[in-house]
Amino acid sequence: MAWLVLVISGVLEAVWATALGKSEGFTRPVPTAFFAAGLVLSMAGLAYALRTVPVGTGYAIWVGIGAALTAAWSMHTGEEPATPLRLLLLAGIVGCVIGLKLTH
């Protein structure tokens, strides 16, 4: 259960990170609300998961999922270029996250 919560928390990290960028310094109410809700839920899930998962592994997985999804979303929406090198590096992050889970 902790691993599932950790993955969901990583997805929520991408939600709050993306919403933070869209909030324009907390001047836009809807993205600011998504940021706040995503942040609270993501941190709560991370805290729950870290009761079972080692902190180094859990944090690395949480950050890796959030970073990869945030970058992928930015490429999907056209805010960042989707170059072959960027895609390769994101695949490397995903591979490392999977590797951390498999070696736990």
User: Which residue ranges make up each domain of the chain?
Assistant: 2-103
What is the band of 76 on the pLDDT scale with cuts at 50, 70, 90?
A: very high
Least Cα distance to 59 among 70, 74, 72, 43 occurs for 43
Mean pLDDT of the chain: 96
Which tens digit of pLDDT belongs to each residue from 24-52? 999 999 999 999 999 999 999 999 999 99
Mean pLDDT over 64-70 rounds to 96
Residue 104 has pLDDT above 80, yes or no: no
Q: What's the confidence (pLDDT) of residue 15?
A: 97
Q: Residue 41 in contact with residue 9, Cβ under 8 Å?
A: yes
- pTM over 0.95? The answer is no
Provide the CB-side half-sphere exposure for 94 (13 A, CA).
Answer: 12
Least Cα distance to 46 among 56, 36, 33, 35 occurs for 56
